[in-house]
């Protein structure tokens, strides 16, 4: 099929990143089309509709800041809203800013090819349609490529199968069902307490235990939204100077959570327990040595185990719930009643470390010690993170080079925004940018604004192409890896996380995110732009 359209930009994905990008491009007079594989906007919040799905930041921070009037019009109902409310917010944004007319839904991008002669990208959809644009902007998110669980017999199961990351729009009735959940990352930890309340029985198959603590979520009090609206300018200003673009995590002030003056290895055992009594679940992570010293981290893990023992009545279950990898290695989780769920009569924890998974049968799940019959399996098994969403598109740059081929030894990018050999390609929250270690909404706004300014600069100076130099790319890639090493527990040999790609068989173990914080990152991006786009070749 022939190319049917020529545009300034094609944006892939209509989540937080794609919607903001489209608005900014239009505002500056660029023609753009968003291609979205879902039937609606929302990205992460469109696909992850599982019970209990909820953001772990406060709504006033996890929301757009680019148009202050939006903040004043929208009313949040909870501190940390659930998925339906966030999706409703994004749908409202799409309507309020009249974005839908430039979004094509149910359209999956399968390939994108750079044409040397025309200096344009040709984007191919799953329907075989081709569209041309000068710029290709991926807003595909970091956690959007579902990981298929590599479990023997998975296709043999005759009951219902659900995936948290592709949850049915119509929902699912767990009433009276014997249910298994496989996976205890953020998604599993959120879904398990809710499913347990509905299901007849719930077996939780845990390979790695989670570090999770109570979210302390609550509805906003009457009048609280008005107070927050008045504070928005200050909140936004403070967010911009914060390392992660986040002031509060799980109803706690981030500044207070991560203290710098208290060392666990210099705190006597009885004092550690006293601190635990006073401060509860937040205590273990607040010692300054926990993230940098593996012995301190083990001591914090012991305190954490004590908290689990205090919450979970069965000692064997409590012991099985204690993580055996460093605290801070994986994404910290916050929950609503997770550990308490294991005190319910209808819930059983299956510790796959002690009783490995053999496979799935037509009627249930088999481990070395026996077989559990279930009606429904819920997979909460995660994503091929950060690089996965880009690797799954055949993106070909100069000389027909495939993007993913150059990333076999880990991604190489300039600022997580651009790749040498791939002119006029911008990757919103791409590999080696702050992305998931920052407030994602702030991260996509920063990238979207930078990209729009760059396009306007090119228009003004009549440049047709922009491309990162191999030297700038190598310098940034090396710098990112060096910064990651400064937080030893994140890269410790005992840590396997999706930040390192360790959850995907065969994926190179490399830290995929810039850990230097949003202020430093923003300053570097601004410096590049004000220097006339240093590290890029414009032509």
Residues near ligand NAP (CB under 6 A):
54-56, 143, 149-151, 182-188, 190, 207-208, 331, 352, 357, 380-383, 436, 498, 503
DSSP H helix total and E strand total for the chain: 16, 22
Instruction: Tell me the closest approach of the beta carbon of residue 367 to ligand NAP, in angstroms.
Output: 11
CB-nearer residue toward ligand NAP: 182 or 312: 182
| Min CB(486)–ligand NAP separation in Å | 21
The one-character DSSP state at 399 is: G
- Residue labelled with tokens 């240093």: 534
Q: Assess contact for 254 and 246: CB atoms under 8 A.
A: yes
Of the pair 172, 249, the CB lying nearest ligand NAP is at 249
CB of 387 to ligand NAP, least distance (A): 14
SS (H, E, C) 245-285: CCCEECCEEHHHHCCCCCCHHHCCHHHHHHHHHHHHHHCHH
CA distance 212 to 340: 12
| Residue 83 vs 477, nearer CB to ligand NAP | 83
Under a CB-based contact definition with an 8 Å cutoff, are residues 136 and 417 in contact? Answer: no
What are the respective helix, strand and coil percentages of the chain, to the nearest 5?
35, 20, 45
In which residue are the tokens 């937040």 written? Answer: 282
Half-sphere exposure at residue 428, Cβ-oriented, CA atoms within 13 angstroms? 34
Q: Measured from the CB atom, is 186 or 239 closer to ligand NAP? A: 186
478: left (phi over 0), alpha (psi -120 to 50) or beta: alpha
The smaller minimum CB distance to ligand NAP, of residues 185 and 423, is found at 185
Q: Which lies closer to ligand NAP via its Cβ, residue 211 or residue 533?
A: 211
Q: Which of 81, 84, 88 is nearest to 62 (CA)?
A: 81
CB of 496 vs ligand NAP, minimal distance in Å: 7
Reduced to 3 states (helix: H, G, I; strand: E, B; else coil), residue 260 is: coil
How near is the Cβ of 418 to ligand NAP at its closest, in Å? 24
Q: Give 107 or 439: the residue with its C-beta nearer to ligand NAP.
A: 439
Instruction: For ligand NAP, give the closer residue by CB, 149 or 159.
Output: 149
Task: For residue 26, give both structure tokens.
Answer: 């239009």
Least distance in Å: CB of 365 to ligand NAP?
A: 10
Cα distances (angstroms) measured from residue 527 to each of 374, 416, 431, 520, 524: 57, 15, 20, 10, 5
In the complex, least distance from residue 52 CB atom to ligand NAP, rounded to whole angstroms: 9
Beta pairing class for 248-249 and 252-253: antiparallel
Q: Least distance (Å) from ligand NAP to the CB of residue 395?
A: 23
From CA 384, how far away is CA 333, in angstroms rounded?
Answer: 19
Which residue has the closest beta carbon to ligand NAP? 185
């Amino acid at each position: 099929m022939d190319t049917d359209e020529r545009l300034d930009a094609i944006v892939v994905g209509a989540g937080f990143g794609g919607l903001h990008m489209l608005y900014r491009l239009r505002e500056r007079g660029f023609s753009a089309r968003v291609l979205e594989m879902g039937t609606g906007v929302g990205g992460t919040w469109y696909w992850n509709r599982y019970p209990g799905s909820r953001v772990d930041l406060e709504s006033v921070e996890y929301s757009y800041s680019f148009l202050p009037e939006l903040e004043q019009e929208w009313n949040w109902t909870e501190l940390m809203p659930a998925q339906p409310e966030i999706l409703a917010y994004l749908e409202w944004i799409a309507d309020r800013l009249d974005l839908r007319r430039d979004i094509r839904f149910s359209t999956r991008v399968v390939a994108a090819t750079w044409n040397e002669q025309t200096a344009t990208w040709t984007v191919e959809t799953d329907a075989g349609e081709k569209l041309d644009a000068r710029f290709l902007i991926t807003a595909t998110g970091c956690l959007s490529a579902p990981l298929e669980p590599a479990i023997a017999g998975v296709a043999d199961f005759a009951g219902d199968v659900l995936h948290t990351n592709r949850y049915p729009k119509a929902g699912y009735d767990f009433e009276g069902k014997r249910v298994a959940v496989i996976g205890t990352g953020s998604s599993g930890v959120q879904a398990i307490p809710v499913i347990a309340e509905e299901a007849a029985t719930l077996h939780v198959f845990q390979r790695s235990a989670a570090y999770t603590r109570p979210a302390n979520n609550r509805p906003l009090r009457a009048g609280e939204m008005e107070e927050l609206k008045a504070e928005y300018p200050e909140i936004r200003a403070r967010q911009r100077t914060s390392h992660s673009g986040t002031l509060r995590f799980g109803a706690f002030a981030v500044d207070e959570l991560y203290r710098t003056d208290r060392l666990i290895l210099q705190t006597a055992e009885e004092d550690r327990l006293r601190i635990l009594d006073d401060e509860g679940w937040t205590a273990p992570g607040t010692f300054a040595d926990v993230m940098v010293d593996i012995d301190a981290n083990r001591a914090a893990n012991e305190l954490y185990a004590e908290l689990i023992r205090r919450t979970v009545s069965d000692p064997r279950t409590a012991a099985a719930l204690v993580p055996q990898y460093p605290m801070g290695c994986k994404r910290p989780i916050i929950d609503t009643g997770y550990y308490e769920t294991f005190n319910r009569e209808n819930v059983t924890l299956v510790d796959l470390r002690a009783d490995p998974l053999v496979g799935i049968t037509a009627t249930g799940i088999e481990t070395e010690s026996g077989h559990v019959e279930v009606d429904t399996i819920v997979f909460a098994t995660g994503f091929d993170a950060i690089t996965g969403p880009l690797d799954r598109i055949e993106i070909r740059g100069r000389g027909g080079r495939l993007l993913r081929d150059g990333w076999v030894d880990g991604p190489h990018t300039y600022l997580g925004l651009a790749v040498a050999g791939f002119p006029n390609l911008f990757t919103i929250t791409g590999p080696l940018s702050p992305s998931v270690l920052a407030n994602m909404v702030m991260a996509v706004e920063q990238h979207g604004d930078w990209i729009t300014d760059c396009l306007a600069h090119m228009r003004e100076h009549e440049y047709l192409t922009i491309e990162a130099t191999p030297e700038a790319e190598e310098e940034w890639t090396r710098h990112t890896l060096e910064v990651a090493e400064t937080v030893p527990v994140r890269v410790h040999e005992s840590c396997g996380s999706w930040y390192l790609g360790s959850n995907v068989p065969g994926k190179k173990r490399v830290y995929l995110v810039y850990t230097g914080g949003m202020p430093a990152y923003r300053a570097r991006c601004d410096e590049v732009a004000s220097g006339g786009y240093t590290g890029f070749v414009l032509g």
